[in-house]
Amino acid sequence: MTEQTKELAGCAAILEKHPGEGRDSLIPILQEIQENHGYLSEAAIVAVGKHLKLPTSKIYGVATFYNQFRFQPVGKYHIQVCRGTACHVLGSLSVLEHLEKEIKLKKGNTSKDGLFSIEVVACIGACGLAPVISINGEFHAKVSPERIKKIVNDLRRNHE
Ligand code: FES
C-alpha cells in the first residue's frame, strides 16, 4: 500500500464517522485527519470537500484561518516557537526571527531536505521557562537569539 493510499484510507474512515454535509463537522474532521496523518495533504482536502460538498477553496480558507493546521509534513526536527504573552515579553519574536534566518525557512514551512519545520504556537504551558521553544516535544528554556545558532548547529551535526 503506498503512502497516499494509506492516507486516503485513513481519511475515508474518518469521513465515515461524520456522515453530514456542510461546515459543521469540518474542523473536527480536519483535526482528526491531521492527528492521524500529521498534516493535511491536498488529496485529503479534496476528499473532505467531496464528502462535505464544499469547494476546496472554502476548506483551505477555513483551515488557514486556524494556526493549528499544517499543509506539509513536519520535518525530522519539528520546532515550535511559543508566541504566548510571557514568551513574547521576553523576546520570542527575536528568537523566531533568528531561527528563521539560521535555518533559512519561514514559519509554517518545512525545509526542502525535510530536516526542519517551524511552527508558531500559543502558550505551551511553560511560561516559567520563557522564552521557550519545543523541538519534537522537548522544551528548551530561556532561549536567546544567540543560543539559537548553537541549537541549530547541534541538530545539523546530529543528523550528519
Ligand atoms: S507564553 Fe510561552 S509558555 Fe506560556
Express as a percent the part of the chain with pLDDT over 90: 79
In the structure, what pLDDT confidence band is assigned to residue 54 with cuts at 50, 70 and 90?
very high
pLDDT of residue 89: 97
pTM of the model: 0.79
Residue 49: pLDDT above 90? yes
Residue 15: pLDDT above 90? yes
Please identify, among 42, 65, 88, the residue that sits at the C-terminal boundary of a domain: 65
Atom of ligand 1 nearest to the CA of 86: 1
Pocket perturbation via mutation, ligand 1, pick of 127, 133, 134, 139 by most ligand atoms within 8 A of CB: 127
In terms of domains, do 54 and 85 share one?
no
In terms of domains, do 60 and 87 share one?
no
CATH number for the domain including 96? 3.40.30.10
As a whole number of angstroms, the distance between CA 25 and CA 107 comes to: 28
Residue whose CA lies nearest to ligand 1 atom number 1: 84
In terms of domains, do 81 and 147 share one?
yes
In the structure, what pLDDT confidence band is assigned to residue 67 with cuts at 50, 70 and 90?
confident
- Long-range Cβ pairs for the range 93-100 (8 Å, 24+): 94/145, 95/131, 95/133, 95/143, 95/144, 95/145, 95/148, 96/120, 97/145, 98/145, 98/148, 98/149, 99/133, 99/148, 99/152
Distance 53 CA to ligand 1 centre (A): 39
pLDDT of residue 145: 86
- The answer to whether the CB of 87 is under 6 A from ligand 1 is yes
Domain boundaries, position 12: 3-65
Residue 51: pLDDT above 80? yes
Distance 75 CA to ligand 1 centre (A): 23
Mean pLDDT over residues 67-72, rounded?
Answer: 85
pLDDT of residue 146: 86
Distance 66 CA to ligand 1 centre (A): 19
- The answer to whether the CB of 151 is under 6 A from ligand 1 is no
Task: With respect to residue 97, please indicate whether it lies within any of the assigned structural domains.
Answer: yes
Please identify, among 20, 45, 65, the residue that sits at the C-terminal boundary of a domain: 65
Mean pLDDT over residues 60-75, rounded?
Answer: 88
| pLDDT tens digits, 71-130 | 989 999 999 999 999 999 999 999 999 999 999 999 989 999 999 999 999 999 999 999
- The answer to whether the CB of 82 is under 6 A from ligand 1 is yes
CA angle (110, 28, 71) in 5-degree steps: 15
- The answer to whether the CB of 126 is under 6 A from ligand 1 is yes
pLDDT of residue 21: 81
Q: Which amino acid is at 4?
A: Q
In terms of domains, do 127 and 151 share one?
yes
In terms of domains, do 48 and 81 share one?
no
As a whole number of angstroms, the distance between CA 154 and CA 44 comes to: 35
Distance 65 CA to ligand 1 centre (A): 21
Number of domains within the chain: 2
Residue count of the chain: 160
Express as a percent the part of the chain with pLDDT over 70: 100
In terms of domains, do 145 and 88 share one?
yes
